[in-house]
Amino acid sequence: VFFLGDVTADIEEVMHEYPNKTFNIVSGNCDFFSVYPASGVANAGGHNIFYTHGHTLSVKYGTERLIAAARERNCDIALYGHTHISKILYEDGIYVVNPGSCSSPREGRASYAVIDIEKNGIMPIIINV
């Protein structure tokens, strides 16, 4: 489970409900005094995943810095939040995914992302709720 920032107290409640799940959490621009880092790298199914809220990489203005940060860390998937707008891109060999927002969507409906990682490929999808 990846939580990409803003109101980390919410995800801490979910963590208590699912103690056997692995949670990868970063702080966002609304997480004052957060103990969580600004970014991280995780591995799933042999793929490195860079995850961040995105505000420190100016994702509102484009994903170039996000993609560069993922590439520097040898990642082929980059996850970000901040804009609250769901998006899936494949650029320069990197899947770029913004799940949108379950609680405060900026365009359209509330959403989250699921990334299916199999031997023959990566399949990110946005789920509208």
For domain 2-128, give its CATH number from 3.40.640.10, 3.40.50.620, 3.60.21.10, 3.30.360.10.
Answer: 3.60.21.10
- Report residue 78's pLDDT band, with 50, 70 and 90 as the boundaries: very high
Report the distance separating Cα 37 and Cα 42, nearest Å: 13
**Looking at the predicted structure, is the pLDDT value of residue 64 above 90?**
yes
User: Rounded to an integer, what distance in angstroms lies between the CA atom of residue 55 and that of residue 78?
Assistant: 14
pTM for the model stands at 0.93
Block residue for tokens 């995800």: 11
What's the rounded Cα separation, in Å, for the pair 114 and 91?
19
